Amino acid sequence: MLRRMKPRVLFLLSLLVLPLSALAEAKLRVSSFSTILTEIAQQVGGERVAVTAHVKPGVDPHEYEPKPTDLKTVGDAQIILLSAKHMEGYVGKLKESTGTKGTLIEVGDGFSSLKMKPEAGHEGHAHASDEDPHWWHSVANMGKATKIVRDAFSKASPADAALFAGNAAKYLAKLDALQKWTKTELAKLPRDQRKLVTSHDAFQYFAKENGFTIYAIEGLSSADQPSSKKVAEIIATIKARGVKAIFSESIKNPKVLTEITRETGAKVGGELYADGLGDGAAATYEGMFKHNVSTLVNALK
Amino acid sequence: MRGSPLLRAVLAFLAILALGWPLHRLTTAADAPREQPKTVVAEAKTIGLRLTFTLAPKSVKVLHLGQEVWSESAPAAELKHTLKLAYPAEGIDLQFQIEWPADAPLAAMRATLTDPDGDPHEHSVWGTSSVDEVVTFP
């Protein structure tokens, strides 16, 4: 009798245990609308999260609009990560159309904002406010964002909280090392030469953290021909401030770029990554940030 | 008004020449690249630097713009030095590389910079064994 019952008991027990183990295996479903937050989510979550990156590297987050496939994924997500500070103009539609029960984490709203220069133009961009939404150009903000993501993940999956805390600590240590490297690199550049001419006013956080002055220029973000009056103003600014280099992220119109460099003698300093991660060495936050710092130091020193 | 064809041709040629010269000047001037913008380089000024250690280090180096400007081996617990450096209104970064004994406890260095106007600015650097830190003054 007992012998007969043993296999049955084992079978019933296995029925109980299987769903529990399946539950333990289920990963936290995360939707990310920022290349930067995708990296943070993957670093903090590790094997315990399944991150869907809706905004891919190289995609302009200002121009991005969710597609129907994105909406379905968001509908199933447990956590939705957003840059915030008015970067995602579609956030209202996203909530409404997906009816998601997932938690929306508007990461950038977790720390203070810097304003873009009032004279800065944003042709081709849809900033709904004068806040600079590019908070990730401050390494200190990246640390705060990492802690926000860690806490959100731990709340959604308390069983994995220790793992998330450990992973976050490792990533925060990497950010500390990056901050130290940045200070040492920028120490090669005199503080009175830290001048950044930009029309895409995306570097307020970087400027504040590293002692740069931004000369925001209106009217050069798009490929359209800006007025000759505007170009004359830019030339006057560069001459008056003794700016050594301008950067191709700032000025996308090659004709205008040629005219400005010819008239001022300023050189083209290279390309800066403003809107998130890119390809190659800039595919990671550390790589992207080091590229920007090295480009600035080499062009301006 | 008719004149000779030769005379008219000469007059036309002179008119083209008169117009051509300023046009040539304008176009070549536009093509030639201008000089690099003149950046106002801050003048080198005398700066005082006093370093006070909680524990005398094995060595200390001070770098400015990536170049070593002062170093001491086996220094005393308090050092004074004068540097001649450009000191713009935006301030300067000094990089301190300090080596304490490997088994030493947590130690600190107090750096007091006296700027060209005679105003002192203080910063502390903490560490064990080896420290490499950039400090911004003021």
Report how far Cα A82 is from the mean position of its chain's Cα atoms. Answer: 10
Q: How far is B45 from chain A (nearest CA, A)?
A: 15
Secondary structure (3-state) at B71 = strand
Q: Is any Cβ of chain A less than 8 angstroms from the Cβ of B88? A: yes
For A177, residues 6+ apart whose C-beta sits below 8 A from its C-beta are none
Q: How far is A98 from chain B (nearest CA, A)?
A: 49
Q: Is any Cβ of chain B less than 8 angstroms from the Cβ of A202? A: no
Least confident of A65-74, A104-113, B17-26, B93-102: B17-26
Instruction: Render pLDDT for B24-49 as a digit per residue (tens, 0 to 9).
Output: 555 554 444 556 666 666 789 999 99
Q: Which of B27, B35, B38, B39 to mutate to test the interface with A (most CBs of A within 10 A)?
A: B39
Q: Is any Cβ of chain A less than 8 angstroms from the Cβ of B37? A: yes
Contact state of A184 with B132 under an 8 Å Cβ cutoff: yes
- What length is written for chain B? 138
Cα three-residue angle B6-B8-B12, rounded to 5 degrees: 115
Confidence of residue A221 (pLDDT cuts 50, 70, 90): low
Confidence of residue B12 (pLDDT cuts 50, 70, 90): confident
Confidence of residue A167 (pLDDT cuts 50, 70, 90): very high
Least confident of A87-96, A277-286, B127-136: A87-96
Q: What is the average per-residue pLDDT within B6-10?
A: 82
Q: How far is B137 from chain A (nearest CA, A)?
A: 10
Contact state of B134 with A191 under an 8 Å Cβ cutoff: no
pLDDT value of position A240: 87
Q: Is any Cβ of chain A less than 8 angstroms from the Cβ of B34? A: yes
Q: Is any Cβ of chain A less than 8 angstroms from the Cβ of B66? A: yes
Higher pLDDT, A17 or A163: A163
Contact state of B63 with A187 under an 8 Å Cβ cutoff: yes
Contact state of A262 with B30 under an 8 Å Cβ cutoff: yes
pLDDT value of position A9: 56
Q: Output the CA–CA distances (angstroms, integers) from residue B5 to A134, B14, B16, B18, B19, in the order listed.
A: 72, 14, 16, 20, 21
Q: Does residue A117 carry a pLDDT above 70?
A: no
Q: What is the DSSP string of B97-108?
A: EEE--TT--SEE
For A164, residues 6+ apart whose C-beta sits below 8 A from its C-beta are A44, A45, A48, A150, A153, A154, A157
pLDDT value of position A108: 96
Q: How far is A111 from chain B (nearest CA, A)?
A: 25
Query: Which residue in A183, A192, A194 is closest to B42 by CB distance?
Result: A192
pLDDT value of position A121: 42
Least confident of A97-111, A124-138, A140-154, A283-297: A124-138
Q: Does residue A2 carry a pLDDT above 60?
A: no
pLDDT value of position A124: 42
Token reading at A9: 């008991």
Instruction: Render pLDDT for A49-83 as a digit per residue (tens, 0 to 9).
Output: 999 999 999 888 888 999 988 999 999 999 999 99
% residues pLDDT > 70 (chain A): 81
Name beta bridge partners: A215: A197
Higher pLDDT, A94 or B1: A94
Q: Which residues of A touch B133 (CB under 8 A)?
A: 180, 183
Q: Is any Cβ of chain A less than 8 angstroms from the Cβ of B68? A: no
Contact state of A244 with B34 under an 8 Å Cβ cutoff: no
Q: Is any Cβ of chain B less than 8 angstroms from the Cβ of A184? A: yes
Q: Is any Cβ of chain B less than 8 angstroms from the Cβ of A237? A: no
Q: How far apart are CA A271 and CA A287, in angstroms?
A: 14
Q: Which of A181, A184, A209 to mutate to test the interface with B (most CBs of B within 10 A)?
A: A184
Q: Is any Cβ of chain B less than 8 angstroms from the Cβ of A261? A: yes
Least confident of A37-41, B22-26, B53-57: B22-26
Contact state of A266 with B36 under an 8 Å Cβ cutoff: yes
Q: How far is B103 from chain A (nearest CA, A)?
A: 23
Are A216 and A251 a contacting pair, CB within 8 Å?
A: no
Q: What is the average per-residue pLDDT within A195-208?
A: 86
Q: How far is A136 from chain B (nearest CA, A)?
A: 22
E-state strands within chain A: 28-32, 49-53, 79-82, 103-106, 195-198, 213-216, 245-247, 267-270
Q: What is the average per-residue pLDDT within B108-117?
A: 97
Confidence of residue A250 (pLDDT cuts 50, 70, 90): low
Confidence of residue A126 (pLDDT cuts 50, 70, 90): very low
Q: How far is B67 from chain A (nearest CA, A)?
A: 8
Are A239 and A195 a contacting pair, CB within 8 Å?
A: no
Q: Which residues of A touch B127 (CB under 8 A)?
A: none
Q: Output the CA–CA distances (angstroms, integers) from residue A28 to A41, A147, B56, in the order listed.
A: 11, 17, 53
Contact state of B88 with A184 under an 8 Å Cβ cutoff: no
Q: Is any Cβ of chain A less than 8 angstroms from the Cβ of B29? A: no
pTM score of the predicted model: 0.82
Confidence of residue B101 (pLDDT cuts 50, 70, 90): very high
